[in-house]
Amino acid sequence: MSLPLAPASLPPLPHEPARAPVWPSSAQALPTGDLTVGGVSLAELADRFGTPSYVIDEEEVRARARAWRSALPHADIAYAGKAFLSRAMVRWIGEEGLSLDVCSAGELELAALSGFPAERVVLHGNAKSPGDLRAALRLGVGRIVIDSTGEIARLAALVPPGFRRRVLVRVVPGVTAGAHRAVRTGVEGQKFGLPIAGGEAEEAVARILDQPRLELVGLHCHLGSQIADLGPYVEAVRRLVPLLARLRDRHGVTFPELDLGGGFAIAYRDGDPALSPRAYADRVGGELALLCARFDLPVPRLTVEPGRWIAGPAGVALYRVLAVKRSGEHTFVAVDGGMSDNPRPALYGVRYTVRLVGRAGTEPPRAMTVVGRHCEAGDVLAEDVPLPGDVRPGDVLAVPASGAYHLSMSSAYNLVGRPPVVAVSEGRARLLVRRETLEDLRRRDVGE
């Protein structure tokens, strides 16, 4: 017999409830204290694949991809591969009709090796290497996002004679949004894009239009990450549509595409706000249509780039407790992973939900701090989370909302290998990415 988690934690997609979900929709609590995801016991997965391990619910990924497709049926939904990318993820988002947003030749080559159509790929980045650009041109990506004026001539010089490559230009609308200053990319004074306010964006457009080997099809912007409020997206539209009108009046060109990026928030703890695709479509799409009518512009084809929103809630990280230590008023629960597989708490101060799985606790919960195994005082995975008072070495802890920006940002700090990724679906589990071993790490060290 299985028991559902608290209803507030498992809402239907794509509508946004009062309290956003932190666990995959398939999560079921068992009377034994265990938890199943995709019909598979998390404690059994920890025993089978070891810890740390990452579990990703395939059906959750697909459902969340479909939520965006349903909300914006005429838009291009480009999964942001930087959140998490593997061959299986490429296949899933491809089968759900999404495009793919990549930031490097490595991500692009993985997509190509997985059979993803190159014409449905968007390449962006503030400092693309010559290798990145050559790979994009060789494989024939659908769009390249120009991020600086210097990139214009550099890219045009690589395009073979007689060919034209479709490009977007990334502009900075001057809108502040994002959960942490390190991820606010829609404001002036950071490394991405060309500001509207200073005229740099319009000058870049003029330069691109002078390049016969580049075909400028529209504008791109990205405001930041972990944005739960629709207001910043609406404000961005209010600044971008007048820019489109000015460019039409100045150059006689009407651009058919507008990429508003991603950054859509998810819940990491019960009660955290999360952005709803349907609400985004209604309010942002409605504002875009209204302003285009006001400026006598055709409504451009919209592109959005959900990454975290699709992958994050589908993932659960599993750790095994190594030690429990009391220091003054604090109780520290040390686990066998940490900042090498999840650097986000150290980088951005993110707070997570943590749950004991595999057994029911026998003592009332107390506030504890879950810490990693690495030699850094900042290696903290979750502060002041309620865990049973009898938590002990050998227990398995599960951390939901772990599918995005964990493994994609992981490292081999302290020469600890990166964890495996296991997919679950319909009661079955299969390995997607194997654990990085000490032998893998030794092979890279070729000196004496």
Q: How far apart are CA 191 and CA 176, in angstroms?
A: 15
Tokens of 54: 């990452």
Active site residue 292: no
User: Are 145 and 220 in contact, with CB atoms under 8 Å apart?
Assistant: yes
3-state SS string for 147-188: CCHHHHHHHHHHCCCCCCEEEEEEEECCCCCCCCHHHECCCC
Neighbours of 85 (CB within 10 A): 24
The CA–CA distances, whole Å, from 72 to 76, 302, 329 equal: 8, 9, 50
* Cβ atoms 233, 148 nearer than 8 A: no
Task: Select from 228, 413, 411 the least CA-distant residue to 308.
Answer: 228
Q: Is 206 exposed, middle or buried (0-12, 13-18, 19+ CB in 10 A)?
A: exposed
The answer to whether the Cα torsion of 288, 289, 295, 301 is positive or negative is positive
Residue 339 near residue 346, CB atoms below 8 Å? yes
Cα–Cα dist 184/349, whole Å: 15
Whether 302 contacts 258, CB under 8 Å:
yes
Q: Are 404 and 17 in contact (CB under 8 A)?
A: no
Which amino acid, residue 20?
A
Catalytic residue among 103, 221, 292, 375: 375
Specify which residues 428 forms β-bridges with.
425
DSSP H or E stretch at residue 327: strand 315-327
Question: For the chain, what percentages of helix, strand and coil (3-state, to nearest 5) are there?
Answer: 30, 25, 45
* Non-local CB neighbours of 9 within 8 Å, separated by 6+ positions: 19, 21, 22, 23, 27, 270
Q: Which of 155, 110, 160 is CA-nearest to residue 133?
A: 155
What are the residue numbers of the active site?
Answer: 375
